[in-house]
Amino acid sequence: AQSVTQLDSQVPVFEEAPVELRCNYSSSVSVYLFWYVQYPNQGLQLLLKYLSGSTLVKGINGFEAEFNKSQTSFHLRKPSVHISDTAEYFCAGVIQGAQKLVFGQGTRLTINP
Amino acid sequence: DAGVIQSPRHEVTEMGQEVTLRCKLISGHNSLFWYRQTMMRGLELLIYFNNNVPIDDSGMPEDRFSAKMPNASFSTLKIQPSEPRDSAVYFCASSRKGRFHGYTFGSGTRLTVV
């Protein structure tokens, strides 16, 4: 991807509420898309990825994302969040055939009890 | 699979000193990426290697920074001399051969230059 934009820098939600973290990409060619999660004082961990096939991708910890080519989006969703989901989430993309991931600026998800 | 291993986890050094950060790749991975993370700039790609060869070092801030990959499983990032503005968390990540499946990140080195 030439660029990846995460539309929200912070998202506060209440525990057990649904959440959507938004991500848009720009690219004139086919891309692979990823979501990573970073818990406090840790490295980035892969949540899920879209390489090809079904546009609805399921990841770890109950998260899923949908690849929408017409809207150039890859939004991350979870139907019911838990306190332990508090973290920073990064969307990233790469042009197929390339190796250099382009990261969004991150979205800080805060879960309130 | 031990994952990507970085050392040290924390480093505190005085301005002007040399700092060396280390990274061990996952066995079978052939690409290595060094990132810097700060509150102001977020995640920045500094340099990446493919099969031990530097491919893109356009993100290296200045000549004080250098990176090497002496063999297929190990890399170092050196800052000499260090400055307070180099304080950040430095991550390395690796990816495997063949079809791209994303990066595996290390736990990072938190560098503080005082």
Q: Write the DSSP string, A16-74.
A: T--EEE-EEEE-SS-EEEEEEEE-TTS-EEEEEEE-SS-SEEE-GGG-EEEEETTTTEE
| Residue B42 C-alpha, separation from nearest chain A C-alpha, in angstroms | 6
Tell me what pLDDT residue A98 has: 83
Does the CB of B93 have a partner CB in chain A at under 8 Å?
yes
- Low pLDDT (below 50) residues in chain A: none
Beta carbons of B42 and A105 less than 8 Å apart: yes
Beta carbons of A44 and B45 less than 8 Å apart: no
Q: Which of A34, A100, A106 sits opposite B102 (nearest CB)?
A: A34
Beta carbons of A99 and B101 less than 8 Å apart: no
Judged by DSSP in three states, B113 sits in strand
pLDDT in tens, A46-76: 999 999 889 999 999 999 999 999 999 999 9
- Low pLDDT (below 50) residues in chain B: none
Which whole-number Å values give the CA distances from A100 to A21, A93, B37, B111, in the listed order? 23, 8, 17, 24
Q: Which of B43, B100, B108 sits opposite A99 (nearest CB)?
A: B100
Tell me what pLDDT residue A1 has: 63
The residue of A37, A44, A46, A107 whose CB has the most chain B CBs within 10 angstroms, and thus the best one to mutate to test that interface, is A44
Tell me what pLDDT residue A99 has: 84
Tell me what pLDDT residue A19 has: 98
Tell me what pLDDT residue B1 has: 58
Confirm if B25 and B5 have CB atoms less than 8 A apart: no
Tell me what pLDDT residue B97 has: 81
Residue of B nearest to A48 (CA): B102
